[in-house]
A = this chain, B = another copy of it.
Amino acid sequence: MAARNKEQDKPRDPRASLALLWGEQEQPTRGPKPKLSPQRIAAAAVELADGEGLDAVSMSKVAGGFGVSAMALYRYVPGKGELVELMVEAVLAEGPDLSGVPGGDWRAGVREWARRCARVYAAHPWLLGATAMRRHVMGPQQLRWLDAALAALEPTGLGAAQRHQVFLLLVGLVRNLAQQVSDYDEEQDREWNRLTGELLARHADRFPALTKAIAEGAFEPAGLDPLEFGLDRILDGVEALIAGRE
């Protein structure tokens, strides 16, 4: 175990962050040619995180990949927090063109959006931890995804505030799912189930509903795709909302 960053405790100038994320900073003409760029650094960090997890992303390791010292990175990035923001933007940029689905079928559109979003999280499990950091600033790519979701929701005829709420619900669904998946570990899971099963059997009276549910196979691998299940529930809920307004 190493130490946990207090990623959020230094003020982190939002102006600087935004300039970085939107690529809106005039680059100088005077000094030596820079070897690196915020984007190249972020890309290297992403590669590292994809391979070894977010915790493996340290200034020193990232810098090492370029053969420069850790402090060199601070010429391009104000701090690690901002680097992570850049990483998020980088992987969010990978996503395809998010222009809506052809027809006026909002359910299909929203579903497709959620699937694509889930795919990004699946490809980069560390995204979850990276965006869980407090007070992060939205960059253009995050806004792009937000925009796409809102666009997909326009045909619902819901008000703006409600569309926003539904969007939050959808991101939440995808993120929770990603959480569960990233937590999963075949071997360890089996071990856990075994041990907890024993304990539970010994205290069955304290957990009647749980005991019954387990007996009925609630925790078997199950053919249910959690994403589709969640989407179905939420979309049905939204449909009910639309119906109720008329």
- Minimum CB–CB distance from A99 to chain B (whole Å) comes to 11
A217 at the interface (CB under 8 A from B): yes
B237 lies within 8 A of A161 (CB): no
A71 at the interface (CB under 8 A from B): no
- Minimum CB–CB distance from A63 to chain B (whole Å) comes to 16
Partner of A4, one of B7, B214, B236, B239: B7
A192 lies within 8 A of B14 (CB): yes
A65 at the interface (CB under 8 A from B): no
A226 lies within 8 A of B135 (CB): no
How many A residues are at the interface, by size bracket?
A: 35 or more
Q: Whole-angstrom distance between the alpha carbons of A192 and B173 in the complex?
A: 25
State which residues 5-19 of A face B: CB under 8 Å.
5-10, 14-15, 18
Partner of A176, one of B81, B138, B168: B168
A209 lies within 8 A of B241 (CB): no
Partner of A234, one of B168, B179, B220, B233: B233
Task: Give chain A's interface residues, CB within 8 Å of chain B.
Answer: 1-10, 14-15, 18, 22, 24, 53, 55, 79-81, 128-129, 132, 134-138, 140, 143-144, 146-148, 150-151, 154, 159-166, 168-169, 171-173, 175-177, 179-180, 182-183, 185, 188, 191-192, 195-196, 199-200, 203, 206-210, 212-214, 216-220, 222, 224, 226, 229-230, 232-241
Partner of A150, one of B4, B165, B213: B213
- Minimum CB–CB distance from A163 to chain B (whole Å) comes to 6
A195 lies within 8 A of B234 (CB): no
Q: Whole-angstrom distance between the alpha carbons of A188 and B154 in the complex?
A: 29
- Minimum CB–CB distance from A69 to chain B (whole Å) comes to 18
- With a cutoff of 8 Å between Cβ atoms, the chain B residues found around residue A232 in the complex are 237, 241
Shortest beta-carbon contacts, A-B, top 9: A3-B3, A233-B237, A172-B176, A4-B5, A160-B218, A160-B216, A151-B209, A237-B237, A236-B240
12 other contacts beyond A6-B55, A140-B199, A159-B218, with CB at 8 A cut-off? A1-B80, A137-B196, A138-B196, A143-B196, A143-B200, A146-B210, A161-B220, A163-B218, A165-B224, A168-B180, A169-B229, A233-B241
A-B contact pairs, 13 of them (CB 8 A): A1-B79, A1-B81, A2-B5, A128-B132, A146-B210, A148-B209, A159-B218, A160-B212, A161-B222, A162-B224, A164-B222, A169-B230, A233-B240
